[in-house]
Amino acid sequence: MKTSDWIEPYWLPFTANKAFRAAPRIIERADGHYYFTDDGHKLLDAFSGLWCSNLGHNHPKIVEAIQQQAAKIDYSPSFNFGHPKVFDLAHLIADQFPGNLDHVFFVNSGSEAADTALKLAIAYQRIRGEGARTRLIGRARGYHGVGFGGVSVGGMVNNRKYFGSLLPGTDHLSFPYDPDAHGFTHGQPSIDVEPYMRELEAMIFLHDASTIAAVIVEPFAGSGGVYIPPAGYLNRLREITRAHGILLIVDEVITAFGRLGAENASTLYGVEPDIVTLAKGINNGAVPMGAAVVQREIFDTFMEASKDGVEFFHGFTYSGHPLAAAAGIATQDVLKTEGVYDHANAIIPYFEEAVHSLKGEPHVSDIRNIGLACGITIAHREQAGDRATDVFKAAYTNGVYVRNNGDDLAIAPILTFSRSDIDLTVETIRDALKSVS
Ligand SMILES: Cc1ncc(COP(=O)(O)O)c(C=O)c1O
């Protein structure tokens, strides 16, 4: 069969399909820090798959765990039944979050985690007698996946504008970063958070707290281009939401399990959200899995509200799938026993210096970094993303995989990257920037 005929029936997600058909990129194999394509290309994975393969590819312990689990239980019904690994993993996850964040609801993706968290928030408010609290507040540049809930509170225009009026009763905070004023910031920018908190307070005044169920934010905007709020932002959001009986949902789909050199951003920043959403790094992206980690008080409220019968009318056929749970346990074991966080912390300053050395290269209008994540804004020629897409393609041709979303190029190294992996990534991007018109 001709390659073009072979490709034809598959509609790729979040992809320029016509351009892909003209020049397909087909990954045939992965190993450690590298992908290998069917046309013999060796590609350094400087985007951890899609922010998910934090330990690199085909880690032997994760592969073995999945293989053994597949031979033991391929599938176990998620409603009315459990299997041993799902309880073990729930413990491992809950133990890593602060305070009473100790109940875990498993799903299959970050999008499902976000929609689960939003539904939990609205239902919880109703059960505790605050049924008027249905409004949801997100943030500009926010990404919480592609379900209607996540898109409604998200703040990425292309993900929203095609899909009608979305959920009613949402509002959005502005993002606390102005590239003109704060460009080329290293780490968290030193911006006064209070004007952004006054914005939230104004929103609460406008709608009245009694109508607001939850605020949802990411610790930093990942898919939105790696934009980083100032220090203390999340802590102040916590104080204000708590004072008004509004739940704080922190979307840690990208930030949990090492991206910031810590188990998660909530622990790192000393914030105790009401709900945390997870996916991706939970099991190294090896089998689809997500989760909502919930405060005990929320769980107890659901349990007490119904004498018997189902307490939360929500769940998925594949919630807590045995293969995903087995991969999750192996991933959490590797994170703990192989010094991954220590290595990430040791390499973060080197990464920061390396990426900021791209300042002054052609077309670069901003560079931002946090942990092992970096966003580089590349000025477009005629339309958003045209030049950044060329940089992505040139880097690919020269053996490095990074991702662009519009004008923002994002780098998300595998947590075990060496200095020479970082050098190869940055120098390949430098050459790519010089090569594009
Ligand atoms: C913060 C955040 N939330 C949710 C999602 C959606 O995850 P998924 O693609 O697994 O649905 C993503 C994906 O990048 C994300 O970065």
CA atoms within 13 A on the CB side of 361: 26
| Residues 258 and 290 placed together within one structural domain of the fold | yes
Answer with the one of 337, 358, 387 that is the final residue of a domain: 337
Number of H helices, E strands in the chain: 17, 15
Cβ atoms of 65 and 332 closer than 8 Å: no
Beta bridge partners of 107: 290
| Residues 232 and 350 placed together within one structural domain of the fold | no
CA distance 258 to 280: 11
User: Quick check: helix, strand or coil at residue 92?
Assistant: helix
| pLDDT in 10s for each residue of the chain, 437 residues | 988 999 999 999 999 999 999 999 999 999 999 999 999 999 999 999 999 999 999 999 999 999 999 999 999 999 999 999 999 999 999 999 999 999 999 999 999 999 999 999 999 999 999 999 999 999 999 999 999 999 999 999 999 999 999 999 999 999 999 888 889 999 999 999 999 999 999 999 999 999 999 999 999 999 999 999 999 999 999 999 999 999 999 999 999 999 999 999 999 999 999 999 999 999 999 999 999 999 999 999 999 998 889 999 999 999 999 999 999 999 999 999 999 999 999 999 999 999 999 999 999 999 999 999 999 999 999 999 999 999 999 999 999 999 999 999 999 999 999 999 999 999 999 999 999 99
| Residues 157 and 111 placed together within one structural domain of the fold | yes
277-294 residues labelled b (16+ CB within 10 A) or e (exposed): bbbbbbbbbbbbbbbbbb
Long-range contacts of 188-197, Cβ-Cβ distance < 8 Å, separation of 24 or more: 188/228, 188/229, 188/230, 188/231, 188/370, 189/228, 189/229, 189/230, 190/230, 190/231, 191/230, 192/230, 193/229, 193/230, 193/232, 193/233, 193/236, 194/236, 196/233, 197/236, 197/237, 197/240
| Residue 181: per-residue pLDDT | 85
| Residues 326 and 179 placed together within one structural domain of the fold | yes
| Residues 27 and 70 placed together within one structural domain of the fold | no
Answer with the one of 337, 372, 388 that is the final residue of a domain: 337
| Residues 301 and 183 placed together within one structural domain of the fold | yes
| Residue 41: per-residue pLDDT | 94
Alpha carbon 325 to its chain centroid, in Å, reads 19
| Residue 400: per-residue pLDDT | 98
Place of tokens 């749970």: 325
Report whether residue 110 contacts ligand 1, using a CB cutoff of 6 Å.
Answer: yes
Atom of ligand 1 nearest to the CA of 290: 10
Report whether residue 328 contacts ligand 1, using a CB cutoff of 6 Å.
Answer: no
| Residues 35 and 99 placed together within one structural domain of the fold | no
For residue 110, report the distance from its CA to the centre of ligand 1, in Å: 4
For residue 111, report the distance from its CA to the centre of ligand 1, in Å: 6
For residue 3, report the distance from its CA to the centre of ligand 1, in Å: 31
The CATH number given to whatever domain includes residue 367 is: 3.90.1150.10
Answer with the one of 290, 309, 337 that is the final residue of a domain: 337
| Residues 349 and 230 placed together within one structural domain of the fold | no
| Residues 112 and 28 placed together within one structural domain of the fold | no
| Residues 143 and 222 placed together within one structural domain of the fold | yes
| Residues 85 and 25 placed together within one structural domain of the fold | no
The CATH number given to whatever domain includes residue 175 is: 3.40.640.10
Report whether residue 223 contacts ligand 1, using a CB cutoff of 6 Å.
Answer: yes
CA distance 60 to 48: 17
Question: Among 54, 234, 254, which is best to mutate for testing ligand 1, by the most ligand atoms less than 8 A from CB?
Answer: 254
Range(s) of the domain holding residue 218? 64-337
| Residues 262 and 392 placed together within one structural domain of the fold | no
Q: Count of domains in the chain?
A: 2
Output the CA–CA distances (angstroms, integers) from residue 78 to 8, 91, 122, 314, 433, in the order listed: 35, 17, 23, 11, 49
| Residue 240: per-residue pLDDT | 98
| Residue 180: per-residue pLDDT | 85
